[in-house]
């Protein structure tokens, strides 16, 4: 981890290059016009990387491996990051698509994105020991779906079709949920009763894009109800706000994250919409391309909510090699939220006195 003291509203400068630069000497008689060379620097967004829900999920798998031994099965990727998945696989985690791939009686962990009641039933039918690592903020949306479905509301769920979180959320009340995946779906959706209509959302969407969809829905359905609290998670919002803070100052903004990470993909979109000249999503520092740096003096760096800080550190090392050794940490806000481990795991850890 980079040892930086983050303070809200302040810029913290850290030089990764300790060389002392000397000013060029000019012959003023021969060179009346002095040309200055723009310095190369990195704007490092904060907050970035792991959120509380991701940290909880990854620690859950790690503690389960320590306690039960390998193998420990995980339904779907525990979080959407290839480095995290490969690291846990090396320790003995086995990732499967469905519970029927897990041997009867074995331990299976449900990913941070959540699962539907049907998945819980399938696991019970196979006598699986389950540990639910669903992010508590996703669980909150599940509770909202059950509540509003029980009150006979039709739920317009804003999210991406096929995303694991959406499948789990919609599965709480499949007869009451209609998926809205973008503005095109707003025009096509057919509802039963406009007075009993509420919108909810996937937790990892772009805030701006979601509100555009909500505004379009309100134009069609003026009586549309809003959720009691914002569904888009704090970490998703904070990382987007941090990117907005630096994007306009960046010739290039690099987002560390995997392509199946919804919140990481959104960060690239937010960067471009907020003024960055270019933005790319990478898993590893080795994926940066020489042509990206042509004419670039300021590089922004951030990472998705499922990305460990070591990958950002690797990118900073790569940027230093390319002459970007001066790093300014731009802190939009601080985060202190922590979630306790799943209750099933806590009980076993106490029993084992670990």
Catalytic residues: 165
DSSP state at residue 225: B
Are 102 and 96 spatial neighbours (Cβ–Cβ below 8 Å)? yes
Distance CA 254, CA 235 (A): 18
Do β-strands 326-331 and 11-15 pair in parallel, antiparallel, or remain unpaired? antiparallel
- Residue among 300, 192, 296, 189 nearest 244 (CA): 300
Are 350 and 320 spatial neighbours (Cβ–Cβ below 8 Å)? no
DSSP state at residue 270: H
Which residues make Cβ contacts (< 8 Å) with residue 39, sequence separation at least 6?
297, 326
Distance CA 288, CA 272 (A): 18
Distance CA 174, CA 318 (A): 47
Rounded alpha-carbon distances, angstroms, from residue 94 to 127, 258, 283, 341: 18, 19, 21, 20
Distance CA 329, CA 56 (A): 26
Run of H or E residues at 42: strand 41-46
Are 169 and 140 spatial neighbours (Cβ–Cβ below 8 Å)? no
């Amino acid at each position: 981890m980079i040892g930086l003291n983050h303070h809200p509203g302040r810029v913290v400068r850290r030089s990764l290059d300790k060389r002392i630069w000397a000013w060029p000497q000019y012959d003023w008689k021969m060179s009346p016009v002095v040309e200055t060379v723009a310095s190369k620097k990195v704007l490092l967004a904060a907050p970035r990387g792991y959120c509380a829900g991701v940290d909880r999920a990854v620690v859950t798998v790690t503690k389960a491996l320590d306690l039960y031994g390998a193998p420990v099965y995980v339904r779907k990727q525990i979080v959407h990051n290839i480095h995290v998945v490969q690291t846990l696989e090396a320790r003995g985690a086995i990732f499967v698509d469905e519970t029927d791939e897990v041997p009867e009686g074995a331990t299976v962990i449900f990913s941070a994105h959540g699962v539907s009641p049907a998945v819980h039933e399938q696991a019970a039918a196979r006598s699986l020991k389950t540990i639910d690592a669903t992010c508590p903020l996703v669980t909150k949306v599940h509770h909202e779906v059950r509540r509003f479905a029980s009150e006979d509301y039709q739920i317009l769920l804003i999210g991406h079709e096929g995303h694991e979180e959406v499948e789990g959320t919609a599965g709480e009340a499949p007869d009451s949920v209609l998926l809205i995946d973008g503005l095109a779906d707003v025009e096509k959706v057919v509802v039963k009763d406009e007075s009993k209509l509420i919108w909810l959302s996937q937790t990892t969407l772009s805030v701006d894009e979601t509100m555009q969809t909500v505004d379009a829905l309100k134009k069609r359905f003026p009586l549309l109800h809003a959720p009691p609290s914002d569904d888009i998670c704090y970490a998703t919002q904070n990382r987007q706000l941090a990117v907005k803070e630096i994007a306009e100052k960046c010739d290039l903004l690099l987002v560390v994250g995997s392509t199946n990470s919804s919140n990481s993909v959104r960060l690239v979109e937010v960067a471009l919409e907020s003024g960055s000249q270019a933005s790319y999503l990478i898993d590893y520092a080795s994926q940066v391309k020489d042509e990206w740096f042509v004419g670039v003096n300021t590089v922004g760096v951030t990472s998705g909510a499922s990305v460990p800080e070591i990958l950002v550190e690797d990118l900073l090392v790569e940027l230093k090699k390319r002459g970007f050794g001066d790093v300014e940490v731009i802190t939009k806000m601080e985060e202190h939220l922590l979630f306790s481990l799943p209750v099933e795991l806590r009980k076993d850890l106490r029993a084992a006195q670990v």
